Amino acid sequence: MSAFRRIRAVFLLVSLSMVATAVLLLSPLPSVMDIPFQTRPVLADELKETSGAAVVDVATYEGVINPVAAEYMAQAIADAAKDHAEALVIRMDTPGGLDTSMRMIIKEMSASEAPIIVYVSPVGARAASAGVFITLAAHIAAMSPGTNIGAAHPVSMGGGEMDKEMKKKVENDAAAYIKSIADKHGRNVQWAEDAVRQSVSATETEALKLKIIDLIAPDLPALLTAVDGRTVETASGRHTLQTKSAVVKKVGMSGRLEILNALSDPNIAYILMLLGIYGLIFELSNPGAILPGVVGAICIVLAFYSFQTLSINYAGLLLILLAVVMFIAEIKVPSYGLLTVGGVVSMVLGSLMLVKTDMPSMQISLWVILPTAVVTAGFFVGVVGMAWKSRHQKSVAGIEGFIGVEGTARTEINPRGQIRIQGEIWEAVSSEPIREGEAVEVTGVEGLKLHIKRSRLPDLPDRQAGGRAQK
């Protein structure tokens, strides 16, 4: 593969990597110092012995309910039971997510020996879709002022529309599931069913009146004070909470889960998809480059992992692939920039359509789409410009590349003789007598014979000497 092609592949990969890095830096991810690296976890029993008060574990999750959320909450529930925590508070703000992950969380909650309090917080948070099921499945459900709950109608996460019969089956299954959860915990069964079938929602005040939740608390200390003395039924039996003066122990995500959770961001998924597509294209068009293929394959796999929690619109995906085809065709076909313009339009439209959802938090940011389209278009425009220049440059390969090149007469030429040019000896023909050692210029090529003339440049002594020395 030529050096130019290697530079082209590496340049694009580096450019898109810079965009991906910018998204990561702008995302609200924790710093390395925020991740709890401990040689041995601190147990609730140890905190209780030190402070003399009960310990309450607090796990905070904001985002889509996905496999990462399921693993995080399952681990928090297991740790709370193992550490004999007085209770586990799950502070949650979610637009919904995967049914399988939601059911996994609820199974762990139902089997928990420690009381679980689901707290929809902070102000402006919501428990939508899968979040409704999780909230209703808690031993105690609470909400902050300015929050809402509801809209639990099941939707397809694969980008396609379910047919009427399948939609009815899924809806009935979800309705039966949420009714059983609400009935088990003494909550409003009719509202729970309506949340699934009619996508009804409620504010925290309405939820309390409708007996969807147990209480409203402005903050965590107020919540722990309010639930103190309440008796709940857990997998290990009845338990009376003593949380009024409890010590709070925050349960954070591990570094591995933080990384996996970041990959679920639609902006990261979008960048990974483009990196994967371009990497594989350059590897297939330039076999042996290795780097684009390796990076592309890894990014494609990570993008597939991210897409499992997103509702992908295949029309948008096809528009992005069409944009890539147009950009590549621009290099091969002289369209005077029309293919590049079409590719930019196709990429922007496809990117806007890629994630099919009404939730802003699940859509690809316009501030990610535009820089990516500009970087990609700019790269291909640059490649087209270089290709255009190279087509109008004098050929430097093959015999035709000798035309215009200067050399030295190795013998006297009248009309035939030999010349030395670019370190090689060639048979030459001239229409004018040329002395040995004179400077000559190639004017044409006929088979393996060069047509020459006396060079316009003055014959320098060192050129003559050099020519004679090489005889």
Which amino acid is it at 173?
Answer: D
> For this structure, is 169 an active site residue?
yes
Report yes or no: 87 and 119 within 8 Å, Cβ to Cβ: no
pLDDT digits (tens, 9 = 90+) for 185-198: 999 999 999 999 99
Residues, the chain, total?
Answer: 471
- The angle at the Cα of 256, spanning 265 to 98, to the nearest 5 degrees, equals 45
Distance in angstroms (rounded) separating the CA atoms of residues 182 and 193: 9
* pLDDT confidence bin for 305, thresholds 50/70/90: confident
Distance in angstroms (rounded) separating the CA atoms of residues 317 and 349: 10
DSSP state of 345: H
Closest CA to 247 of 121, 113, 86, 118: 86
Selected residue with higher pLDDT from 43 and 339: 339
* E-state strands within 268-405: none
* pLDDT confidence bin for 470, thresholds 50/70/90: very low
> For this structure, is 201 an active site residue?
no
* Position 386 pLDDT exceeds 80: no
Q: Which of 51-65, 235-249, 267-281, 390-404 has the lowest mean pLDDT?
A: 390-404
pLDDT score recorded for residue 336: 72
> In a 3-state reduction of DSSP, which class is residue 233?
strand
Q: Extract the tokens encoding 32.
A: 């390395």
Distance in angstroms (rounded) separating the CA atoms of residues 430 and 443: 10
* Position 412 pLDDT exceeds 80: yes
- Cα distances from 420 to residues 1, 414, 465, in angstroms, run 32, 16, 13
DSSP state of 228: T
> In a 3-state reduction of DSSP, which class is residue 395?
coil
* pLDDT confidence bin for 149, thresholds 50/70/90: very high
Closest CA to 269 of 311, 329, 228: 311
pLDDT score recorded for residue 199: 92
DSSP state of 155: -
pLDDT score recorded for residue 41: 44
CA pseudo-torsion sign 120, 122, 124, 129: negative
b (16+ CB within 10 A) / e for 38-69 = eeeeebbeebbeeeeebbbbbbbbbbbbbbbb
Which amino acid is it at 337?
Answer: G
The average confidence (pLDDT) of the chain is 80
Distance in angstroms (rounded) separating the CA atoms of residues 114 and 394: 80
pLDDT digits (tens, 9 = 90+) for 50-63: 555 789 999 999 98
Which residue among the candidates 15, 129, 144, 430 is catalytic per the annotation?
129
> In a 3-state reduction of DSSP, which class is residue 222?
helix
- The most confident of the ranges 191-195, 272-276, 311-315, 385-389 is 191-195
* Position 171 pLDDT exceeds 80: yes
Q: Extract the tokens encoding 291.
A: 């780097």
Closest CA to 147 of 65, 213, 191, 58: 213
Closest CA to 93 of 126, 135, 138, 60: 126
Which residue among the candidates 169, 209, 211, 449 is catalytic per the annotation?
169
Largest CA-CA distance found in the chain, in angstroms, rounded: 118
Distance in angstroms (rounded) separating the CA atoms of residues 227 and 217: 10
Domains of the chain: 3-22+265-391 (no CATH), 30-257 (3.90.226.10), 399-469 (2.40.50.140)
* Position 129 pLDDT exceeds 50: yes
Report yes or no: 307 and 264 within 8 Å, Cβ to Cβ: no
Distance in angstroms (rounded) separating the CA atoms of residues 455 and 449: 18
> In a 3-state reduction of DSSP, which class is residue 311?
coil
Closest CA to 59 of 46, 44, 69: 69
b (16+ CB within 10 A) / e for 305-336 = bbbbbbbbbeebbebbebbbebbbebbeeeee
Phi, psi angle pair for 468, to nearest 5°: -70, -35
* Position 140 pLDDT exceeds 90: yes
